[in-house]
């Protein structure tokens, strides 16, 4: 057995080194930042009793598959930060391995390694491989479904498609093009009966697709507040290309904000530079492979999976009330963008030029500024875990994160907006009833915004980004 392992390592040293690079870039950030509100929501959800967990899933604004998987995972490994984030790292690395296998079979080992290297250093993929959310799983499952399709594994493709539909409500935008390609693969011009037999399972997937689309529209209409989503425009596409190239601030709530990059050009212009180069490269590629129908169709499918969902969400934002264009919702598009680039490298550049481009890209990623996120709630929970009075947080975001770090047995967490003391946040997920403070004199107030706490509060200490305050006692 050791001899076989050594032989395997010798034969695969290159891809193993790339995977080590991928793990390094992901692991170093995995515990560098505290949970943000969505991760804290996930952590709280994993700790709830099974009946309450299932009840929340039935009304949640997201499909249940990832949360069910994570619930099973957390039963064995617990609900700490590391183990809740670990699946995303694993699925991120599996995505690299799968892309290597896929490209190696299509274009050869050299370009399989280039693809794996590009994915291992990509800031967008790295960012979502380090948080306890479904996006890394969503991307892996989309690529797995695509791989089954390309390798003509009919039953695994159909099963994977169903799983994908229960992972994210935007998944139909990826499943539908693949189903069309599947039908095209299985059409038999000589036998209509054979074609119908091979394509009949698609009907089952389409039924599941209709169900999930209905669930998604219902969730979007009744449970999701999309006021925070920026208005769609054609500018979304170059902006997404920038995001897919240089990453986003993954631990900020709301619309994805592109990482700041210290280059000689404004980060908002990067996508506008890359897009025309990319379009010209695609045209040149299509010209070179116009005689190879199979390769042409695969490349077109990859590009439909990259750009198609973006176009659909832009049109939906223009013509319907569903404004859902958020880069993380389109996470699989980043993977197909990289695959498309690799296919282009294979046809219109030499190996040496491809490596020079990737090295240049890598050095520009080193110019990304480390994002700033609020921190300190974990330490506050450690210091005040045995505090007998109320802990009052100034925003529902901080409240939810604090609830995760303090644990479900700590019931003294309250919430109050200093600017609007009577306002309640009961419509927020995971905010308990009766969260307004009752003993304001003995309570401790926690806020990262000092300017909102000046008038009626005294600052007694500071932990991380957060000030700790007491209520001023009136002299009257």
Question: 246-293: per-residue pLDDT in tens?
Answer: 999 999 887 789 999 998 889 989 999 999 999 999 999 999 988 888
**SS3 labels along the chain:** CHHHHHHHHHHCHHHHHHHHHHHHHHHHHHCCCCCCHHHHHHHHHHHCCHHHHHHHHHHCCCCCHHHHHHHHHHHHHCCCHHHHHHHHHHHHHHHHHHHHHHHHHHHCHHHHHHHHHHHHHCHHHHHHCCCCCCHHHHHHHHHHHHHHHHCCCHHHHHHHHHHHHCCCCCCHHHHHHHHHHHHHHHCCCCCHHHHHHHHCHHHHHHHHHHHHHHHHHHHHHHCCCCCCCCCCCCCHHHHHHHHHHHCECCCCCCCCCECCECCCCCHHHHHHHHHHHHHHHHHHHHHHCCCCHHHHHHHHHHHHHHHHHHHHHHHHHHHCCCCCCCHHHHHHHHHHHHHHHHHHHHHHCCHHHHHHHHHHHHHHHCCECCCCCCCCHHHHHHHCCCCCCCEEECCHHHHHHHHHHHCCCCCCEEECECCECCCCCCCCCCCCCCCCCCCCCCCEEEECCHHHCCCCEEEEEEECCEEEEEECCCCC
Question: Per-residue pLDDT for 223 more than 60?
Answer: no
pLDDT > 80? residue 27: yes
Tell which wins on pLDDT, 427 or 129: 129
Question: Residue 365: what pLDDT?
Answer: 95
Q: Read off the pLDDT of each residue in 361-382 and give the average, rounded to a whole number.
A: 93
pLDDT in tens, 287-337: 998 888 888 999 999 999 999 999 999 999 888 877 889 999 999 999 999
Mean pLDDT of 153-161: 91
Query: What pLDDT is stored for residue 4 in this prediction?
Result: 79
The reported pLDDT for the residue numbered 381 is 94
pTM, full prediction: 0.92
pLDDT in tens, 225-242: 677 788 888 899 999 999
Q: Is 90 exceeded by the pLDDT of residue 218? A: no
Q: Where does the pLDDT of residue 79 fall: very low under 50, low under 70, confident under 90, or very high at 90 and above? A: very high
Instruction: State the pLDDT at residue 202.
Output: 67
pLDDT value at position 199? 63
Higher confidence at residue 251 or residue 456? 251
pLDDT at 192: 56
Q: What is the pLDDT of residue 269?
A: 93
- Mean pLDDT along residues 200-211: 67
User: What pLDDT score does 195 carry?
Assistant: 57
Domain coordinates in residue numbering, the chain:
2-365, 377-471
Over 60: is that where the pLDDT of 413 sits?
Answer: yes
Which pLDDT does position 212 carry in this prediction? 67
């Amino acid at each position: 057995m050791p001899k076989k392992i050594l032989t395997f390592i010798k034969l695969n040293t290159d891809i193993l080194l790339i995977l080590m690079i991928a793990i390094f870039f992901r692991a170093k950030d995995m515990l560098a930042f505290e949970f943000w509100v969505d991760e804290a929501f996930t952590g709280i959800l994993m700790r709830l009793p099974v009946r309450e967990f299932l009840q929340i899933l039935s009304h949640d604004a997201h499909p249940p598959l990832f949360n069910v998987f994570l619930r099973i995972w957390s039963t064995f490994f617990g609900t700490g930060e590391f183990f809740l984030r670990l699946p995303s790292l694993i699925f991120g690395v599996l995505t690299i391995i799968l892309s290597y296998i896929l490209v190696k079979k299509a274009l050869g080992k050299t370009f399989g390694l280039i693809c794996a290297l590009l994915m291992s250093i990509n800031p967008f993929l790295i960012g979502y491989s380090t948080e306890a959310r479904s996006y890394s799983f969503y991307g892996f499952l989309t690529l797995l479904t695509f791989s089954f399709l390309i390798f003509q594994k009919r039953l695994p493709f159909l099963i994977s498609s169903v799983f994908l539909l229960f992972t994210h409500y935007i998944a139909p935008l990826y499943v539908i093009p693949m189903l069309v390609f599947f039908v095209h693969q299985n059409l038999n011009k000589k036998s209509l009966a054979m074609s119908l037999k091979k394509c009949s399972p698609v009907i089952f997937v389409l039924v599941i697709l209709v169900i999930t689309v209905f669930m998604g529209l219902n969730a979007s209409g009744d449970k999701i507040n999309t006021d925070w989503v920026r208005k769609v425009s054609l500018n979304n596409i170059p902006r997404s290309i920038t995001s897919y190239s240089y990453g986003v601030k993954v631990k900020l709530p709301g619309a994805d904000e592109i990482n700041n990059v210290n280059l000689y050009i404004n980060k908002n212009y990067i996508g506008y530079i890359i897009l025309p180069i990319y379009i010209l490269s695609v045209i040149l590629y299509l010209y070179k492979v116009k005689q190879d129908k199979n390769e042409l169709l695969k490349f077109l499918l990859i590009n439909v999976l990259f750009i198609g969902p973006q176009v659909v969400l832009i049109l939906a934002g223009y013509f319907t009330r569903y404004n859902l264009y958020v880069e993380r919702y389109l996470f699989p598009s980043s993977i197909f963008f990289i695959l498309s680039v690799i296919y282009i490298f294979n046809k219109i550049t030499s190996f040496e030029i491809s490596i020079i481009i990737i090295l240049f890209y890598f050095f520009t990623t080193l110019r990304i500024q480390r994002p700033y996120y609020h921190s300190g709630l974990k330490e506050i929970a450690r210091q005040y875990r045995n505090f007998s009075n109320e802990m009052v947080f100034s925003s529902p975001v901080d409240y939810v994160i604090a609830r995760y770090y303090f644990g479900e047995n700590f019931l003294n967490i309250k919430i109050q907006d200093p600017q609007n003391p009577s306002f309640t946040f009961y419509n927020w997920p995971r905010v308990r009833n009766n969260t307004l403070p009752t003993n304001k004199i003995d309570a401790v107030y926690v806020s990262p915004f000092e300017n909102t706490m000046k008038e009626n509060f005294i600052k007694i200490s500071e932990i991380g980004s957060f000030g700790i305050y007491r209520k001023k006692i009136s002299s009257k």
